Amino acid sequence: MSNYETLLLARLKGNTSLSGWTGGLKLLETVVSTQEEAKKLAENGAPEGTAVIAEEQTGGRGRMGRKWHSPKGKGIWMSVVLRPNLPLMSTPQLTLLAGVAVCRAIRRATGVEAGIKWPNDLLVSGRKVCGILLESSLSEGQLQYCIAGIGIDANLAEDDYPDFLKGVGTSLMIERGGLPVDRTDLAGTVLAELENLYTLYLEQGFGPIKELWDSLSVTLGRQIALNTAQGRRGGRAVGLDSDGGLLLQDDKGQWFSVCSGEIEMI
C-alpha cells in the first residue's frame, strides 16, 4: 500500500462527517478505469457510497468515450456507487450535484477558484481541471445504480500533458503557482461534500443544489453555441430548468432548454 493510500484510509476513517462512505472504500494502484471497477462492485451488490480510488488509470475515459489522461500519483481518479430511488429522467441532476460537490471541495481544500461549465466540467481560467461522468444501469426499466466518475488534475505539471491537451487542461498545482496539492485532504473533502450534498438532495430535492450550482457556474450569462440534430444553435445561458437542463434565450427572445450535448462558450 502506498503512502497516499495509507494516509487516505486514515483520513477517511477518522472523518466523523462521513457517516457511511468509508466502509466501501477500495484503493487500487493501477486500473484500466475506476468506472469499470465500480461497476463490477455495484453489480455484486456493493452498498451506496462505495468508492474506488486509483493511483493510475490506463484507460480512463470521459463523456462520449473520450480518453481521460490519468498519470500515476498526479490526480484524484475516483468513482462512487450511488443507488438513488429516482426516475431515470432525474439522473442528470446527479451530474450537476457532483459538479457542485467537487467544485466546493476544490475551493475548500486548495483555495483554487474553480467554476462549473455545464454540464460536467470544472474550469480554472478557462482551462479544464476536472471532469465528471455519470453512468446509470437499468433493469426492467428501473434504475439500479449510478456510478459517479470524478477525475481531478491535482499535481500535473505542464510537461505531464500530452500534446492534444496542452493549453486545454490545467492542474490545481499549476494554478497554485507550482504549490502541490495534498491529495489525501482533497479526496477526503470531495467524498465529504458529495455525501453531504447527496443527503441534502434526497431530503429536499433539486432546489438547494440548483442554487449552489448557479453560484458556482461559469456558464450563466454567457453566449453559448451548440450543435444539435437540427443544426447549430446559440443563445445566452440564463439558468437551469427543473430537470437540470440548460436554459438558453436566443436572439429573438425565445427560450429553449438543452438536456444534453457539448456546448461552446463564446
Average pLDDT over residues 57-68: 74
Average pLDDT over residues 36-54: 94
Percent of the chain with pLDDT over 70: 88
Least confident of 15-19, 193-197, 241-245: 15-19
Residue listed under C-alpha cell 480510488:
53
> What's the pLDDT at 138?
92
> What's the pLDDT at 1?
58
Q: Is the pLDDT of residue 17 over 50?
A: no
CATH code for the domain of 246: 2.30.30.100
Q: Is the pLDDT of residue 34 over 80?
A: yes
Say if CB 195 and CB 179 are below 8 A apart: no
Q: How many CB atoms lie within 10 A of CB 18?
A: 20
Q: Is the pLDDT of residue 16 over 80?
A: no
Q: Is the pLDDT of residue 15 over 60?
A: no
Where do runs of H (alpha helix) occur along 205-260? 207-216
Question: In angstroms, rounded to a whole number, what is the distance separating the alpha carbons of residues 132 and 178?
Answer: 24
pLDDT in tens, 233-257: 899 999 999 999 999 999 999 999 9
Say whether both 152 and 78 belong to one domain. yes
Q: How many domains does the chain contain in total?
A: 2
Say whether both 178 and 124 belong to one domain. yes
Say whether both 210 and 256 belong to one domain. no
CATH code for the domain of 157: 3.30.930.10
Say whether both 237 and 202 belong to one domain. no
Residue listed under C-alpha cell 484503493:
27
Say whether both 114 and 206 belong to one domain. yes
Say whether both 191 and 243 belong to one domain. no
Say whether both 209 and 227 belong to one domain. no
Domain of residue 148, residue span? 3-216
Say whether both 169 and 37 belong to one domain. yes
Say if CB 49 and CB 25 are below 8 A apart: no
Say if CB 131 and CB 62 are below 8 A apart: yes
Grade residue 19 by pLDDT with cuts at 50, 70 and 90: very low
Mean of the per-residue pLDDT values of the chain? 90
Q: Is the dihedral of CA 53, 56, 57, 61 positive or negative?
A: positive
> What's the pLDDT at 63?
60
Say whether both 233 and 201 belong to one domain. no
Where do runs of H (alpha helix) occur along the chain? 3-13, 34-43, 91-110, 172-175, 183-204, 207-216
The amino acid that residue 221 corresponds to is G
Give CA separation, 129 vs 2, 13, 113, in Å: 24, 27, 11
Q: Which three cell numbers stand for residue 27?
A: 484503493
User: pTM for this structure?
Assistant: 0.93
Average pLDDT over residues 86-115: 96
pLDDT in tens, 159-183: 999 998 999 999 999 999 999 999 9
Say whether both 239 and 134 belong to one domain. no
Question: In angstroms, rounded to a whole number, what is the distance separating the alpha carbons of residues 47 and 24?
Answer: 7
